């Protein structure tokens, strides 16, 4: 099984919770840092595409010359029935490719916040053996409408659509960040602290870093989600 991760920020996040999970499974994993103008992989070399978060906006194609090509690549992966997991910005790009709008969320959501599963989410393969409510890390100002043919699985107080799957396709999107290890949390606090303006769902730097006891649970959440996808589609090396 060959996983390929698309990165959008220059920080080395190759040792994220997804890489840790893949190593434990013995799955091959590769990385493309599009923000560094690295090439996209050949579609034939990817079994499972994971599109990660980023500080960009989905509509900034003129600002980021690699973005139109990435969207076309995601669309090709959808057409080829690849397994695709989008996370935060990645979930927004996947939603747009599927025909949904991406827009500025009414509230920035930054820090450790609770997510609640919908009834459909509780029944979904994606969240099997995961509690109806859980706390995980968030860092986003944008959001997406639910794509056509997809099912809303989760929400938070700040964000209507926290997770979705697409019926009859091997596609899923998460607005939250279960992939972040402690190093990534510290990076975002350091590099993007200007987003931490006053707001009902914005935690301060000190509060975010004081809640790092959540990190082990965040890995467990990411591993459970990946295990569920793995089991659902009976992935083989």
Name the least confident of 39-43, 211-215, 223-227.
Answer: 211-215
- Digit-coded pLDDT (tens) for 56-80: 999 999 999 999 999 999 999 999 9
How far apart, in whole angstroms, are the C-alpha atoms of residue 93 and residue 51? 8
Q: What phi and psi, each to the nearest 5 degrees, are found at residue 114?
A: -80, 140
Backbone angles phi, psi at 119, to 5 degrees: -55, -40
Domains (ranges, CATH) in the chain? 2-232 (3.40.50.880)
Alpha-carbon distance 190 to 198, whole Å?
17
Residues 6+ apart with CB under 8 A from 52: 5, 6, 7, 8, 13, 16, 87, 88, 89, 90, 179
Predicted TM-score (pTM) of this structure: 0.95
- What confidence score (pLDDT) does residue 237 get? 43
Res. 89: pLDDT tops 70: yes
Q: Kindly report the average pLDDT of the chain as a whole number.
A: 93
């Amino acid at each position: 099984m060959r996983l390929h991760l698309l990165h959008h920020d220059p920080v080395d996040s190759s040792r994220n919770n997804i890489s840790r999970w893949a190593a434990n499974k013995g799955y091959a994993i590769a990385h493309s840092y599009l923000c560094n103008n690295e090439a996209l992989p050949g579609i034939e070399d990817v079994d499972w595409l994971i599109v990660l978060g980023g500080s960009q906006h989905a509509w900034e194609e003129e600002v980021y010359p690699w973005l139109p090509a990435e969207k076309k690549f995601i669309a090709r992966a959808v057409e080829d029935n690849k397994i695709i997991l989008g996370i935060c910005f990645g979930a927004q790009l996947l939603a747009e490719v599927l025909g949904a709008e991406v827009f500025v969320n009414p509230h920035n959501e930054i820090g450790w916040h609770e997510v609640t599963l919908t009834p459909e989410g509780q029944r979904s393969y994606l969240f099997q053996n995961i509690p109806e409510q859980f706390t995980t890390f968030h860092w986003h100002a944008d959001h997406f409408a639910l794509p056509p043919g997809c099912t809303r699985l989760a929400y938070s107080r700040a964000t209507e659509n926290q997770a979705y799957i697409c019926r009859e396709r091997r596609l899923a999107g998460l607005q939250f960040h279960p992939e972040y290890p402690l190093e990534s949390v510290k990076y975002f606090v350091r590099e993007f602290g200007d987003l931490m303006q006053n707001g009902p769902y914005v935690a301060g730097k000190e509060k975010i870093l004081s809640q790092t006891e959540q990190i082990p649970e965040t890995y467990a959440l990411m591993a459970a989600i990946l295990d569920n996808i793995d089991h659902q589609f009976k992935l083989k090396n």
